[in-house]
A and B are shown apart, each in its own frame.
Chain A
Amino acid sequence: MSGILTRLKDKLASYRVPGYRTKFDYKWTMVVDLDRCNGCEACVVACYAENNLPVVGKRDCDISRRFSWIRIERYVEGTYPDVKVKFIPIMCQHCDAAPCEIGCPVYATYHNQDGLNVQVYNRCVGTFTCATYCTYDVRRFNWFTYKWDAPLEQQLNPDVTVREMGVMEKCTFCIQRIRVAKDTAKDEGRKVQEGDMKTACEQSCPTDAITFGDLNDPHSKVSKLAKSPRRYRLLEELDTDPSVIYLKRVMEDRKGSGHGTSHG
């Protein structure tokens, strides 16, 4: 029995290029420090520009068809003037136990080698299952084939596909930039290092609230930040094992009766 198992294991292993795992094994992670986030939405704009997101117009915006892959959720507590406004940027959490991945009947969304939750536009048939199962509501659907009026089509990012009608999409952690970084690193015979690439939202954040990197590298900035006592993950009780780590915002209690902490 154990002989068969070993043989099966070897066979499975042989499907991979030898050394693949050790050579390119990353755990891409994003850390969002909510203490630094001021809700300016520069990340949202950067994402629109980087990933060719269409602007859907007033009518579709009204019925909640915004396309932003990353959104700033605003939660207001209390009544004026005693209010607390909290921001939390939410993008695809790239869950390691993703509810969307079990839902897709055609493997249009799957987990890749680097711990990314990948969406294959060409494979998607549009059953909406992934978006329904998603607990963070981060998936966006192409309700129409969106057009860019001239000359706006000139500014589309050539590294990113322009999606057609009927396809699901979501935050990719700027996979096109990851690919470039990995290819360059491979040419130079090394692993991707800290500072090789930045995601669009990270790059544009004026307060450095967003940090992106490899959690497998113990010296990377994300690994250090991830050890913070303020660390939590969104809706962790659902056991989706997300790859995005939030650092809790420490808020001063206005009434001055000590310090209260709260989630984002």
Chain B
Amino acid sequence: MDNISYNEINDDVVRTMTKTTWKYWALLIFCASMAGVLWFGAWAYQIYAGQGVTGLNTPTFWGIYLANFVFWIGISHSGTLLSAILFITATPWRRSIYRSAEAITFFSVLTAAVFIFVHMGRPWNFYWTMPYFTTRELWVNFTSPIMFDVFAISTYMTSSVIFLYFGSIPDLAAVRDKVTGWRKPVYTYLSLGWRGTDAEWHWLSKSYTFFAVFIIPLAVSVHSIVSWDFALSTVPGLNKTIFAPYFVVGAIFSGTAAIVTLMACYRKAMKVEKYITLMHFDKLCMLLLVMSLLWSYINVVEVFSGWYANTSAENETLMYRMFMKPHAYMYWLMILTNSILPLLFIFKSLRRSIFICIIVSIGINVGMWIERYLIVATSLPRKFLPNMWHDYIPSLIEISMTIGSIFFFVMLFLIFVKLWPSISIYEVKEDIGIPMRKGFKRH
């Protein structure tokens, strides 16, 4: 980032917020309408007609909706977790990407949360899962893994929003000083009267560090709890002790891949190549490589211990997942995209090739989605009593909602870029250093 001058950073970031081309508007409106039709239209139909419009059946009560839920929660783990870990380890290359990564976290948790309501039979009664006082003295069931989920996800969503907001306050103030018109009062309000005094910087850094430390165990626990939705049942294929670390690793893996994909598109579209450089891709791809190896290891352990246990139910699930119609091809596609393709990142030149980065990172996300899908769609159809075995094939409504959710997520991100300083101004400035008299060098 040597070729950025100190005084152009504010202008660059504010430019991404105020200058909007018609192409951007077109993309935004396209995404919004697709999300509206494919997701919320389909959902409205499902609420009207009943869960029967899905492909769910008697042994397979959880399908694509749960897979989507876990997938989006997984994506969310990149941002905040990555940002917090890199902050604590004082990694300099974090600075220009972490704001968008944290936004990704928030939006994917939001998308995941909607999928909880989508998969419910009576979503209008969702508030019954909240522990509130009623005159009938009905309370929620604290032993239920679903209940753990409600707490974990609401806590995670709240704290990642606070984390994102705390880190943005000085930037919101910088934007406030630049913009005019309707934006002025909005950012005046949002920046909480930030003036940039020493005391303010002191307390900001204190609270930010506190949240960074707080959010790492939280993020790990959230995805462990999500895995317990499955692991605490007795169903073969779901009842695995390795699930918690498996899910956490998978989450960081898919989340980092999502960051790589989005960053590659974002730097191109917003013309901020000098802030998000090839060096960033290099580092992120190294992380992807490590996560891929870890993921492969855990996957092998899962299959091996299932096979070694040699119980009839466990064997049947494994065979069904890996070698039988209709899902076996998905399994091997997943192995290809998650275990084999990321090995390309061993080579430095490939880590620095945007094209390869995009291909592999999209592949990883497809593979990770398949992983979540296979967990539910190949375990539940093969429960204990063979008489009830029945395959699960998703219906068009379910597929439509899955595609719609991607548009919904992109729409939220597009809106975010226009409303929020998506590159951390003050931390990039810290990186460059305050311009000094001629001949005086920082460091």
Contacts and interface: CB of A to CB of B under 8 A. Distances in A.
Interface string B110-143: 0000000001111101101100000000111101
Interface string A64-91: 1110000101110000000000000010
Contact of B233 (A90, A103, A145): A103
A106 B128 contact: yes
Contacts of B233: 99, 103, 132-133
B388 A126 contact: no
A105 B128 CA distance: 9
A73 B122 contact: no
B90 interface: no
Nearest to A131: B61
A143 B55 contact: no
B62 interface: yes
B383 A166 contact: no
Contacts of A132: 61-62, 233, 235, 380
B153 to A, nearest CB: 13
Interface in A17-69: 60, 63-66
Contact of B52 (A65, A129, A136): A65
B207 interface: no
A238 B52 CA distance: 31
B387 A73 contact: yes
A144 interface: yes
Contacts of B144: 102-105, 129
B49 A144 contact: yes
A140 interface: yes
Contacts of A166: 50-51, 120-122
A135 B234 contact: yes
B121 A105 contact: no
Contacts of B229: 129
B128 A145 contact: no
A142 interface: yes
Nearest to B386: A75
Of listed A60, A145, A166, A235, residue having the most chain B CB within 10 A: A166
Nearest to A129: B146
A99 B57 contact: no
B145 interface: yes
A128 B150 CA distance: 15
Contact of B234 (A99, A123, A124, A144): A99
Given A104-B144, A105-B140, A127-B120, A141 B385 contact: no
A133 B387 contact: no
B119 A137 contact: no
Contact of B51 (A125, A126, A129): A126
Nearest to B63: A128
Interface in B137-165: 138-141, 143-147, 150
B205 interface: no
A99 B235 CA distance: 10
B396 to A, nearest CB: 14
Interface in B43-91: 49-52, 55-59, 61-62
Nearest to B380: A132
Nearest to B144: A105
B150 A105 contact: yes
B384 A140 contact: no
A101 B234 CA distance: 13
Interface of B: 49-52, 55-59, 61-62, 119-123, 125-126, 128-129, 138-141, 143-147, 150, 229, 232-235, 380, 383-388, 390
Closest 7 CB pairs of A and B: A126-B121, A143-B52, A166-B121, A64-B390, A128-B61, A166-B122, A73-B387
Given A107-B139, A137-B384, A144-B52, 6 more contacts: A63-B57, A125-B120, A136-B385, A137-B59, A166-B51, A166-B122
